[in-house]
Structure 1
């Protein structure tokens, strides 16, 4: 039986869509939204109709009949902690994402657009591997400050899908293996999977710096910076996310530009990029202790994993722990569709969402 799946992945200035027939990609497109277009709206939620209409218009203009679809899947948004895998989009989830999301984020629109399209033609809508997947063990939740509990926010969609691919490469089941995974993108997160469960993470604000995020910085110095410079909350948030990391040192967020600087003899650029790789390697070592060293495979993935320079720096520091597999790319559309296909084929069961 053929299953036709539409995957929708909203980002800050684009809405990516892809059509799959079973595991074959039929069409993939990033629908771009200009800054001027985005700035017309007061909130991300207000962008819903604009983004939904663009998706439908694009499909129609390419002669695709949505009545052929078997399911629609959206990027999982900022709902309170959920388990890994698929969830049916229901009215409870829709209301939560519309009126009380954990954080206002473009990914919240994924479920909403999927639900709207699916309802029109009487098929199911799903989310898959939300960024809010939280299966952490109790030990991992203790931060060291009673006011703050550690929670899980990571690049789980790509990380988990990549782990499944690597398990197949090793002729093993994903649920039988232990992985430490570093996702290297605009933000960097690390995760540890023990026999299929995401037991702990290093989020993008408590680990390595990245092209635009500061990551873990010395707390006392951060407090001094806030109070001594009288920076407001918005300014400090920008220093941590958007203007931090490589950008704060080299005024670029493009690793390819940094590598060009290095090739032209820029020693500072080499120091900064290698420092990022150094911190990623430290994070991998940190999470390896969660498994008491029983790591089957270390995976390096995400867009920056295309850089041989960065991945070799990391590999050289961590290969004593376990074999290292380089799996570049974010693979989000494939991960969404493949997860949904497993549900449609009865290989996985989609959960019901409850508050």
Structure 2
């Protein structure tokens, strides 16, 4: 482990996934968990930057990783202003916008900030983000909401969706830029997107209240009832957003964030879990139908990916509703780490254009 390494980080609410790559080979992989008592010291997730940075560096050092040998660090990109797809070198503008929370708040924002903090400690190390969640390729029609004061925004699982779609196209010996695909990411949030000739022209806004409910998010709520709730509940804006983003979905109905736990409860005959889990699959299916219409009912296939794709029961509930639209391809899990490492390596070699955020 002594030459030209790439450090990949992916921040989550209670852990950071860290990997070391050399060329295309993964040499080290670890989920660095953060105890509740540690996280409880921080009133806001952005206060965790130094804590997470130091934990990452300590873990790498303890496992014999040569920190001076790391040529680049790359992270998932967070909530900055809308950008085109690609790899961006982290600059002061990115860090400023991630810290300002002007474009939203999520734990993914920590990635770019922590990556820059680490790279600043080593003169030869460069810091990047790849395909932030705000990549915007929407068609003009997709931006209409129903009122001119509100535009629909592009916020979805850009990195894993595009990586999976490109891998799928390659497996078929076709070009992603010449295919029409519906890609479904099933994670703590659920995004369903229309990929048309290399661009994502429409998607549900996965962050705070659009599309299917998920393990932690409410998805779309009845708007009138929601407005009345906001005025009558006595809750603050922050509390309402926390409910929508982190305390909805499976957690609100069943008291757990784990879809695989719900899957197990269904297998054991829990009828309430079955009803809620099927309702989530029902809503995902409806969103697939919407994207099918966006693509003029002409698609090359439907890709289902993410952690919940490991549940055969859940995927079957979706497939039985949508398989008449086109072939359904299931790729459980995510390939975000591999994609970040591969594109970063290409960028360092000059084979991938490094974009500038302004």
Q: Does 1:352 align with 2:356?
A: yes
The answer to whether the 8 Å contact 1:186/1:253 transfers is yes
Match of 2:261 in 1: 257
Q: 1:140 aligns with which of 138, 142, 154?
A: 142
Match of 2:169 in 1: 167
The answer to whether the 8 Å contact 1:44/1:104 transfers is no
Change (3 A) 1:142 1:317: same
CA distance in 1 between partners of 2:248 and 2:110 (Å): 27
- Report 1:1-355 matches (<5 A): 4-99=5-100, 101-119=102-120, 120-204=122-206, 205-354=209-358
1:149-198 residue CA offsets vs partner (Å, 9 max, x unmatched): 11111111111111111011111122121211111111111111111112
Question: Once the 2 structures are TM-superposed, how far is the Cα of residue 101 of structure 1 from its aligned partner?
Answer: 4.5
1:269-314 residue CA offsets vs partner (Å, 9 max, x unmatched): 2221111111111101101111112211211111100000011111
Runs (5+) with no aligned partner, structure 1: none
Q: Secondary structure at the match of 1:25?
A: strand
Question: Once the 2 structures are TM-superposed, how far is the Cα of residue 76 of structure 1 from its aligned partner?
Answer: 0.8
Question: Once the 2 structures are TM-superposed, how far is the Cα of residue 68 of structure 1 from its aligned partner?
Answer: 1.9
1:36-79 residue CA offsets vs partner (Å, 9 max, x unmatched): 21232343332222211111111111111122223211221221
1:183-234 residue CA offsets vs partner (Å, 9 max, x unmatched): 1111111111111112111123211111222111211222233345444434
TM-score (norm 1): 0.93
The answer to whether the 8 Å contact 2:71/2:124 transfers is no
TM-score (norm 2): 0.92
The answer to whether the 8 Å contact 2:79/2:101 transfers is no
Change (3 A) 1:347 1:316: farther
RMSD, matched Cα: 1.9
Change (3 A) 1:317 1:26: same
Change (3 A) 1:264 1:104: closer
The answer to whether the 8 Å contact 2:112/2:128 transfers is yes
Change (3 A) 1:240 1:100: closer
Change (3 A) 1:105 1:214: closer
CA distance in 1 between partners of 2:26 and 2:325 (Å): 36
CA distance in 1 between partners of 2:123 and 2:113 (Å): 15
Q: Secondary structure at the match of 2:150?
A: coil
Q: Secondary structure at the match of 1:180?
A: strand
The answer to whether the 8 Å contact 1:188/1:203 transfers is no
The answer to whether the 8 Å contact 2:282/2:317 transfers is yes
CA distance in 2 between partners of 1:284 and 1:28 (Å): 34
Change (3 A) 1:44 1:246: closer
CA distance in 2 between partners of 1:219 and 1:111 (Å): 34
The answer to whether the 8 Å contact 1:209/1:216 transfers is yes
